[in-house]
Amino acid sequence: MAVTFAQGTVRGMSQSQSKRLSFPRVLAFASLSIPIAGVGLPLGVYLAPLYANEAPHGVGLGLELTGLLFMLLRFWDIVTDPVMGYMVDRYRTPLGRVRHWIILCVPILGISTFFVYMPPVGAGPGYFIGWMLVFYVGFTLLQTSRSSWVPAIASDYDDRSRLFLWPEIISVFSMLILLAVPLILSTLGVEADRFGQVAVMGWMMILTLPIAAALSCFFVPDPRLRGESKSVEKFEIRPLIEALRGPMFSRLVTMELLVSTAISVTAANFLFVAEYAFGANDAQTSMTLMLFFVMAILALPFWLWLAKRTEKRNAFFIATTFSGVAFIAFIPLAPFGNFTTFLIASLIAGIPFSAPIFLSRAMTADVVEWQAAQTGENRAGNFYALLTSFNKVGSSLAFGVGYFLVGRIAGFRPGQENSDGATFGLVLVFGFLPGLLYLLAGQLARRYPLTRAVQEETARKLEGRVEIASGPAEGTASI
């Protein structure tokens, strides 16, 4: 009877895995990207400068201290992320494998968002460190749970791209709205300083978080992963080290590190470059950011099509190479630039922006299935926690090293008069550093070993196991 039950379960798993989620359910799953969006570029573009700027225009921590604190806090997450990944893999409830974690993150992330996005003038480093720690715990729990959900609900190699494409579209659209808050308030005739603008962003995150959690938990199934035959019983470093040493995941997390650093360098300095190098005011900068993300949204179907027609690694290579050239192009434009030049360059740079983000996560889902086929363990939580850790390391380096280069080496000071040399140094960091990182990530992607052929072979092996296991089931039942 136990054998029959297990075989029937395997057969049911095969059937459930072969069916794609309907589009409304994909959108319910993607709705989690709405609150997650506030932890991306808005945090770097608006929140970091808010804490760095001197009062009354900001909290007053200063450029170097803000960059240092962001960097140190993200490095702390390197310790906590694998633990959270293990918890997602290990502890399950009648709700499933990830639903209860999604629900738990709602109060953690909601409360901390209030205090992080609505700081008092003069809040010190202690306030910043305390609430950012809680904020990052909630964010990591939500992001790891959501990402580790995909390998179990995706039906094949290309379906993983789809299940990360739509969350990325929703995420970019949400970031677009958040970044356009100053422009929207100005259009409505509402006078709000930077504190007020960031507070509106915070409230948008707080209100959408429980709604998105409810939609995803009610309408998205939470099945077991194909190839999963045993649970992760204890926290072990060895499987994580082996994954990082392997040719697939090691290359993938390095690509993630390079891309996340590039994105965060541009995010942290975007406002400064727009204002000081190209003469844009707040409304023009918000409009540029909004159109930047419009271009990213419009281009996403092309990158999905390219990945389906070729390989994910090919689409990743082309997108990152495009980004590298686009950001380096800001450097020669700066001495002769004006707002129109900045706008056009930003629109071009927006075209490939989101492609590496959703492609790297879809590629990680392929690694998760491959690993489950080899070991029988679903370690999706740990794999995505490691990917998130490398993303955070990149963001930390961007804030710490990026702000150090801008402040100490280039001599740039926000809110003060700056020489032409200091302003050009700012643009140099903004353009050349991320450009180089994007180009390096693209070169790594060219030799990424987990191709469509490898994944299809893995799928055939898993289907073979299902047929072998389910074949005798009828005979067993008749005995």
Query: What's the alpha-carbon Rg for the chain, to the nearest Å?
Result: 23
Residues near 138 by beta carbon (within 8 Å), at least 6 away in sequence: 105, 108, 109, 110, 112, 113
What is the C-alpha separation between 239 and 90, in angstroms, rounded?
14
Query: What's this model's pTM, rounded to 2 decimal places?
Result: 0.75
- pLDDT, residue 463, reads 67
- pLDDT, residue 89, reads 81
What is the C-alpha separation between 25 and 451, in angstroms, rounded?
28
- pLDDT, residue 344, reads 92
- pLDDT, residue 418, reads 64
Q: Are 414 and 272 in contact (CB under 8 A)?
A: yes
- pLDDT, residue 401, reads 65
For residue 6, the one-letter residue type is A
453 burial level (CB within 10 Å; 0-12, 13-18, 19+): exposed
Helix residue ranges, H only, 21-98: 23-30, 33-37, 41-42, 48-52, 63-90
Running DSSP on this structure, what letter comes out for residue 43?
A: I
Per-residue pLDDT of the chain in tens (479 residues, 90 and over written 9)? 333 333 333 333 333 345 788 999 999 999 999 888 877 666 767 787 788 876 666 677 877 788 778 777 777 777 777 788 878 887 888 888 899 999 999 999 999 999 988 888 778 888 988 998 899 888 888 988 888 898 888 878 888 888 988 988 898 888 878 777 877 887 788 877 778 888 888 898 899 999 999 999 999 998 887 766 666 666 667 767 777 777 888 899 999 999 998 988 888 778 778 887 788 887 788 788 888 988 998 999 999 999 999 999 999 999 999 999 999 999 898 877 788 889 999 999 999 999 998 899 999 988 888 887 777 777 788 888 888 888 877 877 766 666 666 666 666 666 667 666 777 777 888 888 899 999 999 999 998 988 888 888 877 776 655 444 444 333 322 22
274-320 pLDDT per residue, tens: 887 788 887 788 788 888 988 998 999 999 999 999 999 999 999 99
What is the C-alpha separation between 439 and 447, in angstroms, rounded?
14
- pLDDT, residue 404, reads 63
Q: Domains in the chain, start-ordered, CATH in brackets?
A: 28-224+237-473 (1.20.1250.20)
For residue 455, the one-letter residue type is Q
- pLDDT, residue 470, reads 44
What is the C-alpha separation between 267 and 72, in angstroms, rounded?
18
- pLDDT, residue 234, reads 63
Residue written as token pair 């353009």: 431
